[in-house]
Every structure is written in structure tokens, then in C-alpha cells.
Amino acid sequence: MSKSRYYSVAFPPLLLLFAFMASSGMAQTATIEGTVVDGSTGDPLPGANVAIEGQNVGASTDQNGRYSISGIDPGVYTVQASFVGYDEEVQEVEVEGTVTVDFELVPSEQALEEVVVVGYGEQRQEQVTGSVSQVGASDVEDVGAPSASEALQGQASGLMVHRTGVPGKSPEVRIRGLTTLNSNEPLYIVDGVERDDLLGINTSDIESIEVLKDASAASIYGSRASGGVVLISTKSGQAGEIQVDVNSSVGMKNPHQRLDLLSTEQYMEVNTELRQNAGSPPPARFNEEGFPESFPETDWQDAYFENAMYSNNNVAVSGGTEDARARVSFGYLTEEGTIPETGYERYSLSVNSDFDVGRFQFSEN
């Protein structure tokens, strides 16, 4: 931080003006923008995370792989890009004004040791021959999305989530594009039970998500899995002292695509020229007294749309012994719509218990 010293000296007005302009320039902020693509194919990576190390700022890429981090002070920063299934890339850049920093991420080739749910049981990751992507509980919770479908955005390669913007409506989920058999929507399996969508699933109750993306899914579930399979395992109680987990998140949504509308004068000019080219006179209302001065200019997008708040609150209690374990959770989600008088409320209750009696195990969910 630079310090200024002031002396009791009379400065000419021109020097004072120059000093004011210099101090104003120091307050300017900088912007880092660019793209994140697959280093082997050049395809954009939507949902990739770009962050500045040591700073609590960052951004996610859009559908075209573009990102923008604005409002930062000029200086030298270390910028990091990451995406599920790819190695992280770090670049050190000097930022002044607007700087473009592009990333080409390389797919990760590290061997994993996790156990993966594959529909008919469990296998070690290195023994799975099909295409499977795994998403952990921390990955889902970090997103802070109101629904499990939206939390999948950017978490698995080849999986695209198209949000409708309508509260309480399930987003469109596509695994490796469109198919021709049955529905293009994937098959959802939650704790072994088939579901039509994931609207009623509380993201805080999710332990892991496996996404089956190739023909091996159809060999297990048949033609219903032509659009892929999303397997979700929910959390269960663990042996030990009673544990209480409380989490709450609040967010805001606003329309991100706006139309650039014509003003009244621009509309009159375009309409008059259009009619002249067609050999027709301009509309009679253009010659009415007080037109267009007496007609207010209203952007109906501002009048119709509004910012919307959403809040997700959850409480979970878990614990037990080696022979009896249980977990109970309650969640409340409220989501306003960007269109007035629209919204969505969801109450969720989950009870999961396990009992070991000799050689037998009883579970309830």
C-alpha cells in the first residue's frame, strides 16, 4: 500500500488537478478473463473452476468454457484452473486492466482406489471396465445448488445440465448427448429404488453419486438406461457419539440473458424506413399530437422480471453403536422465481437405520 505525505506548500491548480487524477487512477480495478478447454481435443469445459490463490475470489466457466473475474486490484496473481477428471493448471500473471488467461487442462491419468457402485454390486475403481464417473458428498455440498440435478453440473465429464429457470421444475440432464431409444433423460436409482427425477432428494443427504455413461449400463438396466444411469447412495448413521450437523445456504438468482430493446425514436425510425421501402406510409399514430413525447418508454423486462432469493436449511442427527446405527435429517428449501408470483417450497425428511443381529443385518430407509 502506497503512502502519501502532504507538505504545507501552495500548489498551483494544475498540479492539484494532476494529483487528483493520479489518485483516481490508483483506485481502478482489473479483470482476468479467458477460456478453459480440453488440452487434447480443444473442446470447452463448462463448469470448470478458476480461482486466484490466496484470494477469496473465483469464477466458473459457462457453456462455451469462458470465465471472467473482475473487481480485483492490479498486481501479480497465481491463477488456478481445475475440473473433475483433469489435472489442475496454475499460471502466474501480472494483471493490469483486462488480461486474458487461457487454460488447456490435461485429463488425469491417476489410478483411483475408491469402491464404485455399478448397479449390480460394488467394484474397485481399477477393475471397472465401463465408463463411470464418481461424485462425492463434498463435491455436491460445495456447489450449494438447491437440487441434486443442478449439483451435477460440471461434476462429471460428458454430463450436461440445462436449467429451465422455473422453480420446482427438474433440469434437463443429458449424458453424452441425445439418444433415439425411449427418453433422453437418464435413469435415476436412489438407494436401489428407481425414481423419475431428483426433485425430492435433499443434497445434504447424498453420500455419493455414480454416473454410468456407456453401453454397460444398458446391459444391467435394459433399454430404460439408453440415456445413461445416475446412481445415488444416501448417507447412513455411523457408530459413535451422537453428532448433530446443521448447514444453511442463501443465494440469489437473476435473469442473465436480456434483449437489447429499441427506444421509441429508434422504433419510429426503423418502422418508417421499413414502410417506405415497401411503398407504404408510416403509421398514422406517428403523426398524432404529443407522440412520442407523451408516451413513456418502458423496458418490460425490468417490469416483468425480478431478482429471486433461495434458501436451503438442513439439520441431521446421527450416531449409534456397532450393532445399531441411525441417521435422521430434516430439510427445508424455499426458492423464489424470477417471475412474480412463482416459487417452490420443499420439506424433506429422511430416516436411515441399520441393525446387526447375529449374522443378520436389517436396514431401513
- 209-220 pLDDT, tens digit per residue, is 888 877 666 667
**Does the residue 154 lie in any domain?**
yes
Handedness of CA 107, 109, 113, 115 (dihedral sign): positive
**Maximum mean pLDDT: which of 178-187, 284-293, 327-336:** 327-336
* Residue 173 burial (C-beta neighbours within 10 Å; 0-12, 13-18, 19+): buried
C-alpha cell read off for 57:
475470489
Same domain assignment for residues 82 and 136: no
3-state SS assignment for residue 40: coil
- Highest mean pLDDT, choosing among 118-122, 184-188, 273-277: 273-277
Strands 103-105 and 30-38: parallel
User: 280 and 229, same structural domain?
Assistant: no
Instruction: Tell me: do 94 and 146 sit in the same domain.
Output: no
Q: Has residue 73 been placed in a domain?
A: yes
DSSP 46: T
Q: Name the residue with higher pLDDT: 221 or 194.
A: 194
Q: Residue 72 to residues 60, 93, 98, 144: CA-CA distances in angstroms?
A: 16, 13, 10, 24
Would you say residue 249 lies in a domain?
Answer: no
Q: Is the pLDDT of residue 129 over 50?
A: no
Q: pLDDT tens-digit profile of 153-170?
A: 777 777 888 777 778 777
Sheet holding 49-52, edge to edge: 58-60, 49-52, 75-82, 89-95
Q: Are residues 96 and 125 in the same domain?
A: no
Domain final position from 67, 84, 105: 105
Does the N-terminal peptide bond of residue 292 adopt cis geometry, omega within 30 degrees of 0? yes
Residues 141 and 222 in one domain: yes
The mean pLDDT value of the chain amounts to: 79
Decide if pLDDT at 25 tops 50. no
CA–CA dist 189, 186 (Å, integer)? 10
**Binning pLDDT at 50, 70 and 90, where does residue 289 land?**
low
Domain stops at, among 298, 314, 341: 298
Q: Do residue 225 and residue 121 come from a single domain? A: yes
Q: How far is CA 326 from CA 7, 201, 243, 246, in A?
A: 72, 18, 11, 17
- Among 81, 105, 129, the domain-final residue is 105
Tell me how far the alpha carbon of residue 170 is from its chain's centroid.
Answer: 14
What contacts 150, CB < 8 A, 6 or more positions away? Answer: 143, 161, 163, 171
Residue 308 lies in a domain: no
Residues 223 and 275 in one domain: no
What is the reported pLDDT for 318?
A: 92
Residue entry with cell 450393532: 323
Residues 134, 89 share a domain = no
Which residue range forms the structural domain that includes residue 294?
Answer: 264-298
Q: Does some domain include residue 332?
A: no
Structural domain contains residue 324: no
Please indicate, yes or no, if residue 317 is contained in any of the structural domains: no
187-190 and 229-234: which strand pairing?
Answer: parallel
Amino acid at 166: V
If DSSP codes are grouped into helix, strand and coil, which group holds residue 149?
helix
CATH no. for residue 52? 2.60.40.1120
Burial class (CB in 10 A: 0-12, 13-18, 19+), 203: buried
Q: In the predicted model, what is the mean pLDDT of residues 123-134?
A: 56
Tens-place pLDDT, residues 66-110: 999 988 989 999 999 999 889 999 999 998 889 999 999 998 865
Contacts of 8 (CB under 8 A, 6+ apart): none
**Residue 359 domain flag:** no
39 and 100 belong to one structural domain? yes
Q: What is the pLDDT of residue 167?
A: 81
The mean pLDDT of 55-60, rounded to a whole number, is 87
Q: With 80 as the cut, is the pLDDT of residue 51 above it? A: yes
Number of domains in the chain: 3
Counting residues of the chain whose pLDDT is more than 90, the rounded percentage is: 19
Is 190 found in the same domain as 124? Answer: yes
C-alpha cell at 266: 429508434
Chain-centroid distance, C-alpha 239: 34
Task: For residues 163 and 268, state if they share a domain.
Answer: no
Q: Is the pLDDT of residue 17 over 80?
A: no
Contact, 329 vs 204, CB < 8 A? yes
**Is 128 found in the same domain as 207?**
yes
Choose between 328 and 167: higher pLDDT: 328
Is residue 21 predicted with pLDDT exceeding 50?
no
Burial of 217 (0-12, 13-18, 19+ CB in 10 A): buried
Task: Identify the band that residue 114 occupies on the pLDDT scale cut at 50, 70 and 90.
Answer: low
C-alpha distances in Å from residue 246, one per residue of 31, 132, 235, 294, 295:
36, 31, 15, 56, 54
CA distance 141 to 246: 13
Looking at residues 168-181, what average pLDDT do you find?
A: 72
